A and B are shown apart, each in its own frame.
Chain A
Amino acid sequence: QKEVEQDPGPLSVPEGAIVSLNCTYSNSAFQYFMWYRQYSRKGPELLMYTYSSGNKEDGRFTAQVDKSSKYISLFIRDSQPSDSATYLCAMTRTTGNQFYFGTGTSLTVIP
Chain B
Amino acid sequence: DARVTQTPRHKVTEMGQEVTMRCQPILGHNTVFWYRQTMMQGLELLAYFRNRAPLDDSGMPKDRFSAEMPDATLATLKIQPSEPRDSAVYFCASGPTVRETQYFGPGTRLLVL
Main secondary structure of the interface of B (DSSP, over half): strand
Residue of B nearest to A100 (CB): B45
Knowing A42-B106, A104-B42 are in contact, say whether A97-B101 is a contact too (CB < 8 A).
no
Residue of A nearest to B41 (CB): A103
Give, as a whole number of angstroms, the nearest-CB distance from B71 to chain A.
21
List the B side residues contacting A98 at CB < 8 Å: 45, 48, 56
Residue of A nearest to B9 (CB): A41
Give, as a whole number of angstroms, the nearest-CB distance from B6 to chain A.
8
Q: A34 to B102, alpha carbons, bound, how many Å?
A: 10
Indicate if the CB atoms of B102 and A99 lie closer than 8 Å.
yes
Give, as a whole number of angstroms, the nearest-CB distance from B21 to chain A.
13
B-side interface size class: 20 to 34
Q: Is A7 an interface residue (CB 8 A)?
A: no
CB < 8 Å A-B pair total: 46
A26-56 Cβ-contact flags toward B at 8 Å (1 or 0): 0000001010100000111110010000000
Indicate if the CB atoms of B104 and A43 lie closer than 8 Å.
yes
Interchain CB contact (< 8 A) of A97 among B43, B48, B104? B48
Interchain CB contact (< 8 A) of B101 among A43, A46, A101, A104? A46
Q: A43 to B56, alpha carbons, bound, how many Å?
A: 22
List the B side residues contacting A107 at CB < 8 Å: none
Q: Is A74 an interface residue (CB 8 A)?
A: no
List the A side residues contacting B91 at CB < 8 Å: 43-44
Q: A18 to B67, alpha carbons, bound, how many Å?
A: 42
Indicate if the CB atoms of A97 and B55 lie closer than 8 Å.
yes
Which 10 pairs across A and B sit closest by C-beta, in order of nearness?
A43-B104, A103-B42, A101-B43, A97-B98, A46-B101, A44-B104, A43-B106, A43-B107, A43-B91, A43-B105
